[in-house]
Structure 1
Amino acid sequence: MANIVRHLLNTSRQNLFLFGRLSKYSSTAQQNELKHDLKLSDSCVKRLKEICQDGSFLRVIVEGGGCSGFQYKLDIDNNLNPDDLKFGPDDAKVVIDETSIEYISGSTVDFHTELIRSGFRIINNPKADGGCSCGASFNIKID
């Protein structure tokens, strides 16, 4: 029994060492994806699978402007940039640059349908203090 426990401990140490070496050599973008969180709702994934069958994806950008200081810009794109972070499955991918993720990490990308319109939106942004009534712009929380 003691030999089995010793073997399991040694194997665990080797796996931790291997994981540390792999993460050391992974790209900066891959490491940032692990640090940041962006959730995709089921309705978002479903809609992206319907409209992004040619390898395109939803690009999310945060820009200065709007009626509350910062605004979300969402668009269908097919050009990846070196600083892009990818979220979701390959056939329903959301891409965001390293600067923009700092303003919406922890948020959810949703696809919402109403009687008069439908579209993608950012909801539950933990870094937003408030926003406009249409949901396109927001204020940043200052800690």
Structure 2
Amino acid sequence: MAAVRGLTAVALRVVTPWHGSRLLAASRGPRALREVSSSSPEAGEGQIHLTDSCVQRLLEITEGSEFLRLEVEGGGCSGFQYKFSLDTVINPDDRVFEKGGARVVVDSDSLAFVKGAHVDFSQELIRSSFQVLNNPQAQQGCSCGSSFSVKL
């Protein structure tokens, strides 16, 4: 078992239909960081899916305990915006999504706005960036790709 800033990690193997992706739920207690199988009620709709290009890029840019944090903040041209950053601290209300050794962490408040979405890495001539695709919680997005409005 490995300790993660006051949390205990429990290593379990779960087979899911998402090519080796796993969902970890962070909470306090002896089984603080636990995997949730895709057939459990906690997975499914609350799942964040990582594309192969996202996994590949994260493996290239992260070191050690680093992971990609996805947050949703108020602002942007459509009301809400996605914010990506590299982080090393897992908070008690975080959900950890892992695929192929790459991790994306989303806090519980932000997860309500992105559950069921895909996190991708796109490389174009004018920019390279992580982005949220196919967000079932978004009513519409902006052409900037980082702003959206939610379904009511």
Measured against the shorter chain, the TM-score band is 0.7 to 0.9
Question: Which whole-Å deviations, capped at 9, do the CAs of 1:48-84 have from their partners, x for residues lacking one?
Answer: 1111122100000001111101110001111111111
2:93 is matched with 83
Whose strand fraction is larger, Structure 1's or Structure 2's?
2
Give the alignment of 1:37-52 within 5 angstroms: 37-52=47-62
In the alignment, what sits opposite 1:66?
Answer: 76
Match of 2:131 among 104, 121, 138: 121
Deviation at 1:89, TM superposition (A): 3.5
CA contact (8 A) 2:69 2:86 kept: yes
Q: CA RMSD in A?
A: 2.2
* TM-score when normalising by structure 2: 0.71
The offset of 1:116, in angstroms, is: 1.3
Residue 33 of structure 1 deviates from its aligned partner by 5.1
Partner in structure 2 of residue 99 of structure 1 = 109
Q: CA deviation at 1:45?
A: 0.4
Distance 2:104 2:142 in 1: 24
Taking a change above 3 Å as real, the CA distance of residues 28 and 46 of structure 1, as seen in their structure-2 partners, is: closer
Q: Could you list the per-position Cα deviations for residues 83-120 of structure 1 after superposition, in whole angstroms to 9, with x for gaps in the alignment?
A: 11000147310000011000010000000010111010
1:42 deviates by: 0.3
Instruction: Calculate the TM-score normalised by the size of structure 1.
Output: 0.75
Q: Measure the CA separation in 1 of the matches of 2:43 and 2:150.
A: 23
Q: Which runs of 5+ in 1 are unaligned?
A: 1-24
Q: Which residue of 2 aligns with 1:34?
A: 43
Q: Distance in 2 between matches of 1:117 and 1:30?
A: 34
More helix by share: 1
Q: Is contact 1:57–1:76 with CA below 8 Å preserved after alignment?
A: yes
Match of 2:26? none
Q: Partners of 1:116 and 1:43 in 2: how far apart?
A: 18
- Contact 2:50–2:99 (CA<8 Å) still a contact in 1? no
> Which structure is larger by alpha-carbon Rg, 1 or 2?
1
Whichever residue aligns with residue 72 of structure 2, its letter is: V
Alpha-carbon spacing, 1:65–1:29, altered in 2? closer, same or farther (3 Å): farther
Aligned 8 A contact 1:58 1:74 in 2: yes
